[in-house]
Amino acid sequence: MFRAFYNHQRPHRALGGATPAEVFAATAPARPVDRPLPAPVFVTTGIVNDTTGRVFVPPYVVNVGRYWAGHQCDCVRDGDHIAIFSGTTVIRELTADPTRRYQPGDKSTRTYRTRAPKPPS
């Protein structure tokens, strides 16, 4: 009895004098979206491992090379597309293979005992 009066007869001050039932009936009912929502973009911060040159971008482990060892990297993942930055420099950009956890790097160069200078903090 109180609920019926509260929702259907009592004018509500915050609703401009309308009853809560009138305002509820005037809105469109909730329904599923017409198209699926886009996958969220994940941004993580990680430090490149000193011994392996890898950085963890959940759920992947990405090889960026020992050249970038010790750098703090910003990793942006949009679905399977990953971009890894050190400061404003793009270290690596790739499309991850979803069947593999470890994403190897290219084997084009050898950076034996060389390191990139760390950006100022």
What's the pLDDT tens digit per position in 28-44? 888 887 777 777 788 88
Q: Are residues 94 and 47 in the same domain?
A: yes
Average pLDDT of the residues in 60-71: 90
What gap in Å lies between CA 50 and CA 66, rounded to an integer?
7
Q: Kindly report the CA angle at 66 between 64 and 70, in degrees rounded to 5?
A: 90
Do 18 and 54 lie in a common domain? no
Range of the domain at 16: 1-28
Question: Under a CB-based contact definition with an 8 Å cutoff, are residues 40 and 76 in contact?
Answer: no
pLDDT score for 63: 93
Where do we find the tokens 């750098």? Answer: 71
Q: What total number of domains does the chain contain?
A: 2
Query: pTM for this one?
Result: 0.61
